[in-house]
Structure 1
Amino acid sequence: MTTNAANLQLALNWLKEVISGRLRMHLGQSETFEVSPLNLSSEPSSLSAFLEHYDPDFAEFTLLLLTLAPHLHPNFFSQIIAEHLPEGGDFPEFGGVKATHHRGILPTGETALFILAGDNLEKRLEVQQLFSPEHWFAQHHILGLEAVREGEPAMSGRLILDSEMVELLTTGVVSRPRFSIDFPAEYIETKMEWEDLVLNPKTLRQIREIETWISHNATLMNDWGMGKKIKPGFRALFYGPPGTGKTLTATLLGKQTGKEVFRIDLSRVVSKYIGETEKNLSRLFDKAEHKNWILFFDEADALFGKRTDIRDAHDKYANQEVAYLLQRIEGYNGLVILATNQRSNIDDAFIRRFQTIIHFPLPRPEERLLLWQKTFPPQIRLADDIDWGQIATRFELTGAGILNVTHYCALEFLSEKYNTLSGKQLEAAILREYVKEGKVV
């Protein structure tokens, strides 16, 4: 048995002792409620790491185990109750509900009240504070209560342990979230390196400023005390024509600094139904919080465009959606990058919210020359009439456009349509890209 599994079993045995002690008191079989200390293995495990990091007290740790137990043993609570009530019968004091697919008992807030406080009203009120928004359980999105129908006691809601916390405590790792309706963001990565990136020198200098923030933010906010004066996180706006390296730059920033980058699909976030956009954004940011991810909002003008005058209810709620997104972005403690093709598409009122605004212009001839030289594979034999300097000067292409031309030429070469690429053939491939982009030839 692995150390983590062994420690989880010890924790469940301890929890069973806690529940049994409360049941004996409730049934008049004992007048005291004493529990032996939990002694875990000294070997490292995800459970011991959690205890070391958060240092929960008795009530907090008991509540954590109550929410975790059904994920480990479906009949955990049923067996304990059966041992103390062998003849069965209704036991409303214990709380708990049945689920659609889970056939065991799922604990509720009432279960926690019963086990931690019994009939002591003062203690029951103290236990309820474990579910307050100010408690670290809620602050770190660890556990909480399921919402109940209006008019029903709040503590009758199920105890909900965050799915990532379940995964962390049981397997020791948290898997990367998949793109879905509940998480409309796609993990992006690249095999390219910084030296493959060709940008205008001014653009590159500003990108280095973001790297500096990533490297020194903790010192700035904590050691220098700036956390009291400025908002957490860093917000950047990238603007420029398509294909100029905005997405690649965001991806390389993550690769360079060891942070995961997620591209948010705003078309999946924005909803025509009132309130749904805010719900989608809330799920996204709740998932990202405390992960230190880089969030990349591509085509951000879909939501951050010019605000409208309020003519009807739709306009009112559209502006509320933007205000909510701004609020969540400003509260996020990581790096948020918004990208747009035109800076003018972004409302001026939002501009002051960014720490930096970085222009990604069309590459100049000297940058296009570097792109051709870095992009074209050496396996393609070039005719003597190809002059990269002349090609770079004559044809205005973005990095993405140059890559498309290179891709086309490489496939033509591999299909053996020619064994040496001539200047005429290269120009034909470039003109093909011009037509595709809708440019006048």
Structure 2
Amino acid sequence: METRLKNLSEGLAALEQWVHYRLAELLGREHKIEVEAVQSRLAGLELLPGQCLPFEENLALITVLAPHLQSDFFDRIFAEVLPQNGDYPSLGGLRGTQFRGFIPTGETLMFLLAGRDLKLRLHLKHLFEETHLFSREGLLYLDPAPPGEPTLSGRLSMPSEIVSLLMSGVAEGPRFGTDFPAQHLTTDREWDELVLRPATRDQLAELRNWLTHRNHLMNEWGMGRVFRPGYRALFHGPPGTGKTFTATLLGKVTGRDLFRIDLSMVISKYIGETEKNLEKVFSRAEHRDWILFFDEADALFGKRTGVRDAHDRYANQEVSYLLQRIEQFSGLVVLASNLKSNIDTAFMRRFQSVVHFPAPGPEERYQIWRRLLPTQVRLEHGLDMRALCRRYELTGSNIANIMQYALLQTLSRQSDILQKADLLEAIEREYQKEGRSL
């Protein structure tokens, strides 16, 4: 942390000197700044953990970061140097809705990097191109300018997780909300606790292989020229069969963050809003190596309808947008559905893996029972768990609910013996919830 604080302090000090240099140049005044020394200082800083970037890139990063570190950074320098009541469009910048300080724009960065040198300004526009590190790694981007206004008048923006990375050395995930309608899922459980049929496990091995070897395949072996970016998988099967749990474990064992898209915050009745809400997720997830998980995906990826009215036409446009967006995404996208037949055939053709999660059989049910039984708890004399597993068709989710109820009943008796009566009562409750009879 001390090294990070030192880098940030030196970065701000170098930026302040550089702003003074450019302002003196703008006003036609002499300056005492050693230009090459400041450039060398900035180029030698490790603002981005693990990387010493060139002067231009580091100046861009510290310029965007400065208001996050010192809210009055630019205003303080401007008040000290610029004449009162002056208007200087070449500085760019804007004010926020709640933030009252100066916020840099693309024009601000160009002023700092190139001044009035038109040739240099044209050369430096590569900083905002898709092939540049900033875009490839999702570090920094230029917000769209209002219609009809110069492109560089857009605000320089940095995702919150990158701000966190530069400030603390740790990239905190985005906060769940309207600006990012997806929840970060984690688990304390391990892969060997997953109880699945052998065929399902074999299919999941393919996903783990892709997550483990993707970079080698696409980059070192050069197959990125041949294969589409990213990987798309469908998990289908009855509710409670482990689709969400499996996706969460995939993230854990491969060291990737998994985000479940909240469809209630994504889907909108207003034309074009669904696509905008989804773009908030995809654009933030790009280059982050995240896994995107769409639970109950039928609502978004369901079969297209015949066009009877304007609503149908725009609904089909949403599906077309999704087709394009998931194909462009470079990470893993997992869709979960209770019924495979509900998914639009256009999506089915684009899945590399279609993984079936059937209801567990008697042996899988028994394994789930055993894994959920605390070591401190004994079974009532004569309680045959295998017989219960053969008789009652239950999913993993059902069994977890049953065990929770029965264990709480055991504790309420101040006992450590699990009774058959409690299990049967809980089984009946699960059957009733699903409209089934024993």
In structure 2, the residue matched to 1:17 is: 17
Q: CA deviation at 1:221?
A: 1.4
Q: CA deviation at 1:133?
A: 4.1
In structure 1, the residue matched to 2:41 is: 39
Letter in 1 for 2:112: I
Distance in 1 (alpha carbons) for counterparts of 2:51 and 2:207: 34
Change (3 A) 1:75 1:425: closer
1:184-227 deviation line (CA, Å, top 9, x unaligned): 21122223222322111111111122222222222211222211
Match of 1:150 among 144, 147, 151: 147
Change (3 A) 1:138 1:426: closer
Q: CA deviation at 1:80?
A: 2.8
Distance in 1 (alpha carbons) for counterparts of 2:160 and 2:189: 33
- 1:362-401 paired onto structure 2 within 5 Å: 362-401=359-398
Q: CA deviation at 1:163?
A: 2.6
Distance in 2 (alpha carbons) for counterparts of 1:149 and 1:47: 31
Q: What TM-score does the superposition give when structure 1 sets the normalisation length?
A: 0.90
1:271-290 deviation line (CA, Å, top 9, x unaligned): 11111111111110122122
Please say if residues 14 and 38 of structure 1, whose CA atoms lie closer than 8 Å, have aligned partners that are also in contact.
no
In structure 2, the residue matched to 1:61 is: 58
Please say if residues 47 and 58 of structure 2, whose CA atoms lie closer than 8 Å, have aligned partners that are also in contact.
no
Q: CA deviation at 1:48?
A: 5.6
Letter in 2 for 1:130: L
Match of 1:426 among 415, 423, 427: 423
In structure 2, the residue matched to 1:332 is: 329
Distance in 2 (alpha carbons) for counterparts of 1:110 and 1:373: 64
In structure 2, the residue matched to 1:111 is: 108
Q: CA deviation at 1:46?
A: 5.5
Q: CA deviation at 1:236?
A: 1.1
Identity, in percent, stands at 51
Match of 1:73 among 70, 73, 84: 70
Please say if residues 403 and 423 of structure 2, whose CA atoms lie closer than 8 Å, have aligned partners that are also in contact.
no
**Greater mean alpha carbon deviation, residues 104-113 or residues 7-16:** 104-113
- RMSD between aligned residues: 2.7
Change (3 A) 1:7 1:294: same
Q: Which runs of 5+ in 2 are unaligned?
A: none
In structure 2, the residue matched to 1:214 is: 211
1:394-441 deviation line (CA, Å, top 9, x unaligned): 111111111211111111111119875554553333222211221122
**Greater mean alpha carbon deviation, residues 91-100 or residues 271-280:** 91-100
Change (3 A) 1:160 1:340: same
Change (3 A) 1:420 1:125: closer
**Greater mean alpha carbon deviation, residues 146-155 or residues 394-403:** 146-155
Q: CA deviation at 1:24?
A: 2.6
Q: CA deviation at 1:373?
A: 2.4
Q: Which runs of 5+ in 1 are unaligned?
A: none
Change (3 A) 1:5 1:437: same
Distance in 2 (alpha carbons) for counterparts of 1:197 and 1:384: 28
Please say if residues 298 and 342 of structure 2, whose CA atoms lie closer than 8 Å, have aligned partners that are also in contact.
yes
Residue 238 of structure 1 aligns to a residue whose secondary structure is: strand
Match of 1:90 among 87, 90, 94: 87
Distance in 2 (alpha carbons) for counterparts of 1:33 and 1:352: 61
In structure 2, the residue matched to 1:274 is: 271
Residue 68 of structure 1 aligns to a residue whose secondary structure is: helix
1:205-263 deviation line (CA, Å, top 9, x unaligned): 11122222222222211222211110122211111111111111111222222222222
